[in-house]
Amino acid sequence: MKNDEFNNIHFTLNEVKKGVYAAISKPGGGAVANAGFVDLGDGVIVFDTFNTQQASKELRDAAERITNQNVMWVVNSHYHGDHIRGNQTFKDASILSSETTLAKMKEIHPSRIEKQKVDIDGLTQYIESLEKQLRDSGESTLQDQVSFLHEMKRSLPDLELTLPNETFKKEKTLQGTTRSAKLFTLGGGHSFCDSMLYLPEEKVIFMGDLVFVQCHPTFFDETDTRKWIDILREVKKLDIETVIPGHGDIGTKEDIDTMILYLTHLLSVQHKESTEIPPLYKNWASPEVYFQNIKRVKIKERT
């Protein structure tokens, strides 16, 4: 059920079960990825913090106003920027991640953020060039990109990398007065290490970028397709009804199956040229990513 009271440019808020909310990113906003929060009765868990602090501030405001509780815990599912760059909004909370995620954040983000900060003029020029293209072509797909880049530019001057202050190895249970939540990782598939948040009584799982719904998943140098499939097969053993993906709309357990099929398909076509997207995935968002994924899987499988 959508909560229109907290409507903003960054995300749509949906109550998927009583006290469990999914924040689904909007194109062109400062969120980029999905996030969410859970009321444990005596405090709130936030799962992922978006790509910008202006989006994460809206998330915290919604979480605390709806639940009338403070945000006590924040989970970073993995190290990618669209899931952790809003952390500074939650400096006073316990920010949790796997040990691997923390290590990768320390290794990769300081130089990346610093480089972006010193090149705001370059970003401004790039935005201006896209705005000119938009005026000349009227191409609607450019509008979301321009809007997003404005949000990025707005975030950079005050952006501070805020690292997790607590880590776990394999799993950690967060116990509240009204429900418990299980934070766990089965290793890396999409990234070096991917963490999930499972609510057994509600049969809800926040899966980060291990699941994309109706859109092509993004692959990186570290992505391991076979391990990703193994992780999803293991997660399928849980009692799940609702899946909150890292990108795309709220899903069900069937979307885990669909993700497994997609990844298995990519492995099956790695030895031949694919010129068309299969019908099952043809209407998914970001179709150009499909062909990029095939190339990445081919390279990975050769090494």
CA gyration radius, the chain: 19
Q: At what angle do helices 288-302 and 253-268 cross, to 10 degrees?
A: 60
CA dihedral 144, 149, 150, 155 (to 10 degrees): 130
User: Tokens for 87?
Assistant: 């952390």
Residue 14 is given by DSSP the state E
Residue with tokens 């394999």: 170
Between the alpha carbon of residue 127 and those of residues 122, 132, 144, 149, the distances in Å are 9, 9, 12, 7
243 vs 252: CA distance, rounded Å = 5
Amino acid at 179: R
User: Tokens for 131?
Assistant: 């705005």
60 vs 53: CA distance, rounded Å = 10
* Local mean pLDDT, 10-residue blocks, the chain (303 residues): 80 97 97 98 97 98 96 98 98 98 98 97 97 86 93 97 97 95 98 98 98 96 96 98 98 98 90 77 92 88 75
274 vs 116: CA distance, rounded Å = 36
Report the pLDDT value the prediction gives residue 6, as an integer from 0 to 100.
81
231 vs 186: CA distance, rounded Å = 6
Strands of 180-185's sheet in order across: 171-175, 180-185, 195-199, 204-206, 242-244, 251-252
Report the pLDDT value the prediction gives residue 270, as an integer from 0 to 100.
61
Report the pLDDT value the prediction gives residue 64, as an integer from 0 to 100.
97
239 vs 76: CA distance, rounded Å = 23
Question: Domain limits of the chain?
Answer: 4-105+160-302
DSSP annotation string for 177-215: SS-EEEEEE---SSSS--EEEEETTTTEEE-GGG-EESB
Q: Of 35, 34, 30, 74, which is closest to residue 52 (Cα–Cα)?
A: 30
Between the alpha carbon of residue 63 and those of residues 3, 39, 92, 175, 208, the distances in Å are 12, 8, 15, 18, 19
Report the pLDDT value the prediction gives residue 1, as an integer from 0 to 100.
67
205 vs 236: CA distance, rounded Å = 11
Q: What are residue 12's phi and psi, to 5 degrees?
A: -105, 130
Strand partners, 95: 74
- CATH superfamily entry for domain 4-105+160-302: Ribonuclease Z/Hydroxyacylglutathione hydrolase-like (3.60.15.10)
Q: What are residue 58's phi and psi, to 5 degrees?
A: -65, -35
pTM for the full predicted model: 0.95
